[in-house]
Amino acid sequence: MKSLADLEAIRKKTLDQVTLRKDEDSVRIVVGMATCGIAAGARPVMNAFMEEVAKRGLENVTITQTGCIGMCRLEPIVEIMVPGKEKVTYVKMSPEKAARVVAEHIVNGNVVAEYTVGAAE
């Protein structure tokens, strides 16, 4: 069983590695988590992003939640903000699509055009 005591070891380990990162350098993943998003399956999508980011050990990525973006029929919606690039909005997301977005967009820098709001409209 995991216990809170493990956290002490994690803290020591990460403090050694982590160079203080500035928020403006980090990639932001924003998941719509209002009633509409949650009902459409936003939670497993968010968990998939978290798992994928953690598995790959991506340190400069932050995952946050937001409310209703206003296109409820296209939920789950995820926005990706890469510093210096235009914001990309992905729609009708799934955990499988999330894994692909992390691999292609966040790691390799290629937007997955077929999942974007532009392709859906």
Partner 1 sequence: MKELSLHILDIMQNSIVAGADRISLTLVEDSHADLLSFRIEDNGKGMPKEMVQSVMNPFVTGRTTRRVGLGIPLLKAAAELTGGGISLSSREGEGTVIEARFGLSHIDRQPLGDMAGTMLGILTSYEDIVFIYTHRVDEQEYTLNTQEMRDILGDVSFSQPEVMLWLSEYLNENETALYQK
Residues near partner 1 (CB under 8 A) are: 1-4, 6-8, 10-11, 13-15, 18, 33-35, 38-39, 43-44, 46-47, 50-51, 53-59, 62-65, 67-68, 70
**CB closer to partner 1, 34 vs 111:** 34
DSSP 61: E
Residue 79: both structure tokens together: 């926005």
Residue 99: CB minimum distance to partner 1, A: 15
**CB closer to partner 1, 65 vs 116:** 65
80 close to 32: Cβ distance less than 8 angstroms: no
DSSP 72: G
Residue 62: CB minimum distance to partner 1, A: 6
**CB closer to partner 1, 18 vs 121:** 18
Q: How far apart are CA 35 and CA 39, in angstroms?
A: 6
Overall residue count recorded for the chain in this entry: 121
Residue 35: both structure tokens together: 């009633």
Residue 65: CB minimum distance to partner 1, A: 5
Residue 48: CB minimum distance to partner 1, A: 10
Map tokens 């403090």 to a residue.
15
